[in-house]
Structures are given as C-alpha cells and as structure tokens.
Chain A
Amino acid sequence: MELGTAIRKDFPIFSEFKEKNLVYLDSAATSLKPRVVLDAMQEYHEKYSVNVHRGAYALAERATAAYEDARKTIARFIGAARAEEIVFTRNATEALNLVAYRYAGTFLKEGDGVLLTEMEHHSNLVPWQQVARAKGIKLFFMEVDPADGELVWGPEFFLNYLKSRQIKMISLTHVSNVLGAVNPVTEIVRKAHDVGVVVAVDGSQSAPHLPVDVQELGADFFAFSGHKMLGPTGIGILWGRYELLEKMPPFITGGEMVEDVFLDRSIFLAPPHRFEAGTPHISGAIGLAAAVRYLEGIGMENVHNYEQNLLAYAWGKLVKLPGIHLLGPRDLSRRNGLIAFTFASVHPHDVASFLDEQGIMIRAGDHCARPLHRKLKIPASSRMSFHIYNDKDDIDRAVEALERMVKVFGK
C-alpha cells in the first residue's frame, strides 16, 4: 500500500486545507483522523447512541457489543493475552496515574524505590512524585547521556542498582517524545523481572508508530493514548497483566464498576470494568477501534518502515542547516518518528511561528519534558514528527522554510 500523499484522501482535514496544502508535522502531539474513525463515531451517535452494560433492549446490546468489541480489537492490536486486560481511560496520562496511585500506591511500602528516567514526559513523572510524597516512596532516575540522548544503562550493574535502592517498580517511556530514542525496554524488563521488579511502560510514542506486542515486550503495564494513533481524543488505554489488575483497588468509583452496593459498602466488579466508573467514552472506544483496524489494514511494520524512511530523509536534510543542533541518538535505527532540534541563533518559538506563517506546523516548547530540557541545558526545542500521511515533500517544504529563516534571523 502506498502511504504519504496517496492516503491523504482518507483524511478529511486535507481537503479542508486544499489550497494551503497542509504541512502537518506535529503528529507526536496528536495525529490527524481518517474518515473511517469519524464515520464509526458518527454511526454510533446517529444509529445506536445508548448506554452500555445496562439496558435490556436490543439497541443497548448493540452499543455494549460495539464497546466490548473495541476492547477486543485493541487487545489484538497490542498482543494482549485477553481483552479483559484492556482498561479504557481518558488518555495515557490517566492510565499512568492509575498505575502509580493504585499499583504503586497500594503495594509499595515506605522506603521502597521507584525507578523512572530523566526523559519522561510529565505524565510519567508528576503522578509518581505525588504518590512518592504521600507514601514515603523514593524516586530514582536512569540518566540520559546529553551527548547522544540515550539512556545510560548497563545490564551488568542493573541488578545491584535495583537491589541496593530497594526498587520495586520501574516506569519508563518506550520512545522519548523529545529525543525520539527507542529505549531497550525488553532488556530492562528481563533484568527487572529477575528480581521481581514490576515494569510499567509509557507507549504513547510507540503504539502509534511501531508494532507492539506487550507479551514480547514482557512489561507488566503499558499505557497509550488513542488520539496519537489516528483515533479520537478523550480515550486512552491501560493494558495490565490480569493478575496485577485483579488485585488493584479501583481508582475512580461510582456506577458501572460495582457488582453490588449497600449503604455502607460496595462490591466491585472484576477488571477491566472495576476501573471504568461512570458512563464511558463509548464513541471514543468505537473510534479508536476503527483507527486500530485502519492501522492494521496498512500493517504496523509498513507504518514503521515508512516513517523510518521519512526520518532518515529529514535527518539528512536537517543536519546540513547552519547552526542547527539535532537532539537524540545519532544511530537512526535506535530512533523513531520525530526529530527535535535547536538553532544557535533562533529561539524555538520563533522557529515554530516562522514556519507557521508559511503553513508548516511544527511544535516548539518543552514538549512536557521540562527536566529533560534542563538536563540538556536548553530552554526549549522545536520538533517535527511524522505519521503515514506525511511525505518527503512536507520535509522539503519545512527545510526550505528553515533555510529562509536562518537567513532572515541570522546575526
């Protein structure tokens, strides 16, 4: 299947911007949505927009079936052992909060350690800070090498490191949203499991771009968002090993998550419904399942290969620009989907605004990774990120605009 320009017909937003020829290079923030996703959501709203898990009427059964089928589709997409391991959340942030508050917050004791990395998105850092403060848990961080933007990690010292710091849990990102680095999650998990350490993975930047099989990955929790993988906003996923989910108490409580309720106590449902209080984002789950089927139709291997080609092409062009500094690993095979950069003499916000005025959308700021930017001793960075609807022409236009910018702003 041909990607890039050829599949833009599937994405209605491109016809909205026909004259301006939309150059969207910010898919790491959120992806564009294909027609099939919008249609699936619209069909729910138009034809069977009733609540799930309740009504004894046929339409409610249809809605429940669509919602639970969405769960199965997503389970298949990430290779989960069973659909009941898929918890619908609002986004990856909520999924990570659920792990931090309800797994670590319940099973870790005062003095236990949680290991994170210096490259985490705030969503995989701030919740841990809260839980650590409340429970007397200590946080430790795997360092990022500022030279090549990779995790400083040595398998030979790792077990000692974990033991000496009483680390009981690791939570790390699969792919950095700033460095683009793909972390060696499988190896880290293998070592961690040798000493009984539980591992959560933030898959927000991996699930949309590369084949993910949670069983191969070996981790215990895997969180990701729908809207970065062609799905709608407001829906995210927490995958967890069933035996872990089963012993976790609920997070948000209320209707739809109880088996029985008395005035003084309640009996909760088994996972995943224990973690889905209130009316869920039904159309969101249905839309995300449509996005997953669309991606499966293309094949995640093809998505990954296509984006790696774009990455290599963009890297080759960007690296020649005067005054540019590219962040992250130099070995492109250890990267995925995005390139963040700084210019010696142009502020990242000027880079983004200048490109915006030429119809090119890139991101500037700290990308919700303030501690990482501090470590790299830069206030902010600009970032271009790709998905299947991008092509080399987008990159050419962005690079030409950057060339003009260097001339205009050059001191």
Chain B
Amino acid sequence: MTLYREEIIERYRYPRHRGTLDHPHAQGEAVNSFCGDDITIFLKLDAERERVEEARFSGEGCALMQASADILCGHVVGKPIEILQNFQAEEFLSLYGDPPTPSRLKCVLLPYEALKMAFRTI
C-alpha cells in the first residue's frame, strides 16, 4: 500500500479545485503549525442558498493535504448544505480511500476541518 496512489499524485499535480472565489458565501481556514500547512476553503452557494455551487481551496501544504482538499471540494459541489453540515470525518476518510498512516492522518483531515470552519460562517 502506498500513500501516493495514482489518484493522489494526479490530484496533487493537476488539482481541479485549486484557487479562490470572489465574494464567497462561506470560507474557512485550518492550520497545522506542526508542518506549516495552511488551507482555506471557499464556498459559493446557489441562488436558494441550499446547495454548494462551487468550491475552491488555496494554501500551502503537503501532497496529501492538497489532494485531499481537491477530493473534498469535488465532493461538496452540488450537495445540499443540510446534508453537508452532518458530514462526518469517517465518511470523508472512506471517500478519500486507502487510509493514511497515523502520522499523516492530520494532513488528510485538515481540509475537512477547514470545511467545517466554512460551514460555521453560513
């Protein structure tokens, strides 16, 4: 088993959701000072403010964190906020795929923490 399966490297090198959003409806940041990782997630909602219309992430961090952020942003687009507010870390980890080693778990969960922070601003 590897931490760096093809999808992770692919997402790290060619992220689909990297960037920022002007006038986001929600935005959340999470920091891991241990490794200097820092991520912000931006969300744009639909006109009814019921669903996520667009999600982007920006920040610095390791490949696992960036790939995880890309997977997470891809997942939330189109989903109802009501459901996402109850989105559990375990669900996200199973979506992420092969579990990271214990020492790298935090890298994978950092974008999830940023998403939770973003929901607090809605």
Contact = CB atoms under 8 A, between A and B. Distances in A.
Tell whether A and B belong to one assembly: yes
* Contact size range, B: 10 to 19
B12 A349 contact: no
Given A353-B104, A409-B12, A409-B13, A347 B3 contact: no
Contact of B35 (A349, A409, A410, A411): A349
A350 B62 contact: yes
B94 interface: no
Contact of A408 (B4, B36, B37): B4
A346 B37 CA distance: 13
Interface in A164-196: none
Contact of A349 (B2, B60, B62): B62
Contacts of A409: 9, 12-13, 63
B64 interface: yes
A353 B101 CA distance: 9
Nearest to B106: A349
A175 to B, nearest CB: 24
* Contact size range, A: 10 to 19
A349 B104 CA distance: 8
B107 interface: yes
Contacts of A411: 13
A347 B9 contact: no
Interface of A: 346-350, 353-354, 357, 365-366, 373, 378-380, 408-411
Nearest to A358: B2
B62 A365 contact: no
A186 B35 CA distance: 35
B80 interface: no
Contacts of A349: 35, 62, 64, 104, 107
A290 B62 CA distance: 42
Given A349-B104, A357-B2, A380 B35 contact: yes
A347 B2 contact: no
A408 B62 CA distance: 14
Ranked nearest first, the 3 interchain pairs of A and B with the lowest CB-CB distance are A379-B36, A347-B62, A350-B63
Contacts of A366: 34
Contacts of B9: 408-409
14 contacts: A347-B37, A347-B62, A349-B62, A350-B64, A353-B4, A357-B2, A357-B3, A357-B4, A365-B34, A365-B35, A379-B35, A379-B36, A409-B13, A411-B13
Interface in B59-107: 60-64, 101, 104, 107
